[in-house]
Chain A
Amino acid sequence: MLKIKDLQKNFGSLRALDRVSLEVEGDSIFGLIGPNGSGKTTLFNVVSGFYEKDGGEILFKGERVDGLTPDGIARKGLCRTFQIAKAPEKLTVLENMMLAAKEQRGENPFSALFTRRRTARVERENLDRAMELLEVLQLVDLKNEYAGDLSGGQKKLLSLGRVFMLQPDMILLDEPTAGVNPTLTMQLMKAIKELQQREHKSVFIIEHSMKVISSICDKVYVLNFGKKMAEGTPAEIQKNEKVLEAYLGGA
């Protein structure tokens, strides 16, 4: 589904990504772990088009996507969330969900004024879907609150909801559980897993907690100093001594 070949990204003389190659398969959850500053978020930023790469190739569904604009990449069906959850301050939770919906009409002034009936119909359909997702994410009661007023964890839930509204083929999740309490973390993971299984999407996830990774990921990739350190199933990774030393602090 997503194929990264020899990807490079430098910040000055720092090699943030040093010839990273990996492949994420369809209908699976792929984990990316590594110590702080190992290049995980940089990798996401390059893949999603927010940073320019310095070398290598990115193929999505067999097509080159490096060099496209962030919105162009999102329209190809590759969508990301941010480590610090974004939430437009003066848009309500439900508006956020509607904002993200994939099929929309009335997004330009002309169609907004002159095809109101069709717009309204599409909006109603999206509204139903938004409410369903909010139920899964347990945000229904907050639907008319401003997103800017939500707690950090709720914002994270909301960004998940937005991504699922968009119905991309692949989702890049940047630490969806950072700063979220353990109970909510487990809920989030459950929600991700549930949604993934229901919609058969691929999920590419950055995560710190080994527990989280091993409970939902099919495959894990370990990054250290911008380079590949290991790759394998969660069980294999947990036994890998190099990883244990660098990442889990030795034992």
Chain B
Amino acid sequence: MVGIYGLLAMSLNFQVGFAGLINFGQVAFFCIGAYTSSLLATKVGIPLPFCFAGGMVISGLFGYLMSIPTRSLKSDYWAIATLATAEVIRLIALNEGWLTGGPFGVMTIPQPFQFLFSRDSYPLFYLVLVLICVLLIYFALSLLSDSPFGRDVKAIRDDEELCLSLGKNTRQIKLQAMVVAGMVGGLAGALFAHYITFISPENFRPIETFLMWAMIIVGGRGNHAGAILGAVIIQLFNVSTRFIGEYVSLSPDVMASLRMLIIGLLIILFISYRPEGLIKEKKKVYYLKRRDGE
């Protein structure tokens, strides 16, 4: 789960930290990736790698759709629109029962390579699978953010008018950034669905988006390693407090609220005292060839 959240945080970070696109509907990518992949597996029955790819493609397409309003909406209004869009997606999943199973969700989602492993060793295999995905995505996103594309994206975040004056097609670049982020988010969704084998609209509440935000606020924006670190911290905190519940006599309800309270507090503390997060944005330094005589 930490790895899956790591992917989600990296995807969100690519939008917020690099492209300056304030997305409060990140969970929609997660949701679409999960549903697409699991429906392709259970209803269409195509091989699982294609389901994963399908989840990424549809989620990427959704990123494309989400980026269209960035043309006419200022960033804060767009942020509200994304929040609403994610809820719309969840409500569609909840109400279009013929496709999504409605509130009962999608059940018995097949797990990849399950037949090769015993029940006990399968989670370990899945962990490795997720870690490989995280590494691959980390590598790919690092290449991207280091490339001229990444430079354009960061420049648009800092000053869009300047980019226009330099002849950059900023709309197209933002669109591409959203598609990339959407694909990563979709992959996370697919990995999630095939791991827990049962998904319902309950899994994709807006609170998930805010957890992802907490991750990038704590870990640091404009930095892929920061996103992963943030995911590890928040997720470890979330899981470990579940075990504490056995020793402290608090009802699960109180524990859950307390957990969110502490995460909220953490966000406030970080924003006030360490706004750049644990890991700062990396400064790009070009390596220059030495000239003769120097």
Proximity bits, B141-179, A CB within 8 Å = 1, else 0: 001100111111011011101111111111011001101
CA distance A200 to B149 in the complex (A): 30
- Measured CB to CB, the nearest residue on chain A to B150 is A112
Min CB–CB distance B16 → chain A (angstroms): 13
Q: Which residues of B contact A95 (CB under 8 A)?
A: 151, 284, 286
CB of B285 within 8 Å of the partner chain: yes
Q: Which residues of B contact A119 (CB under 8 A)?
A: 147-148
Q: Which residues of B contact A50 (CB under 8 A)?
A: 161, 164-165
Min CB–CB distance A191 → chain B (angstroms): 19
CB of B180 within 8 Å of the partner chain: yes
- Evaluate contact between A127 and B288: CB separation under 8 angstroms: yes
Partner among B154, B167, B176 whose Cβ is within 8 Å of the Cβ of A71: B167
CB of B140 within 8 Å of the partner chain: yes
For chain B, what secondary structure do more than half of its interface residues adopt (helix, strand, loop), or is it mixed?
helix
Listed residue (A80, A95, A112, A119) with the most chain B CB atoms within 10 angstroms of its CB = A112
- Measured CB to CB, the nearest residue on chain B to A168 is B167
- Evaluate contact between A99 and B283: CB separation under 8 angstroms: no
- Evaluate contact between B151 and A99: CB separation under 8 angstroms: yes
- Measured CB to CB, the nearest residue on chain A to B148 is A106
CA distance A141 to B140 in the complex (A): 32
Number of interface residues of A (CB under 8 A): 44
A-B contact count (CB 8 A): 115
Listed residue (B151, B152, B169) with the most chain A CB atoms within 10 angstroms of its CB = B151
CA distance A106 to B222 in the complex (A): 20
CA distance A72 to B286 in the complex (A): 29
- Measured CB to CB, the nearest residue on chain B to A120 is B147
Min CB–CB distance A145 → chain B (angstroms): 9
Counting chain B residues whose Cβ lies within 8 A of the other chain, the interface size class is 35 or more
CB of A105 within 8 Å of the partner chain: yes
Listed residue (B157, B164, B173, B176) with the most chain A CB atoms within 10 angstroms of its CB = B164
- Evaluate contact between B288 and A79: CB separation under 8 angstroms: no
CB of B281 within 8 Å of the partner chain: yes
CA distance A90 to B154 in the complex (A): 8
Partner among A86, A92, A105, A123 whose Cβ is within 8 Å of the Cβ of B285: A92
Proximity bits, B69-87, A CB within 8 Å = 1, else 0: 0000000000000000000
- Evaluate contact between A162 and B148: CB separation under 8 angstroms: no
- Evaluate contact between A86 and B162: CB separation under 8 angstroms: yes
B106-162 CB contacts (< 8 Å) to partner A: 140, 143-144, 147-152, 154-155, 157-159, 161-162
- Evaluate contact between A79 and B167: CB separation under 8 angstroms: yes
- Measured CB to CB, the nearest residue on chain A to B166 is A100
A77-100 CB contacts (< 8 Å) to partner B: 79-82, 86-92, 94-95, 98-100
Write 29 A-B pairs (CB below 8 A) sorted by A numbering.
A48-B165, A50-B164, A70-B161, A71-B170, A75-B167, A79-B165, A82-B162, A87-B159, A88-B158, A88-B159, A89-B159, A91-B154, A91-B155, A94-B286, A95-B151, A99-B152, A104-B148, A106-B148, A106-B149, A108-B176, A109-B149, A109-B176, A111-B149, A112-B147, A113-B140, A113-B147, A123-B148, A144-B285, A166-B167
| Extra inter-chain contacts (16) besides given A71-B166, A112-B149, A112-B150, CB under 8 Å | A69-B164, A70-B161, A70-B164, A71-B163, A72-B167, A89-B158, A95-B151, A98-B148, A105-B148, A107-B152, A109-B149, A109-B180, A116-B147, A127-B286, A127-B288, A166-B166
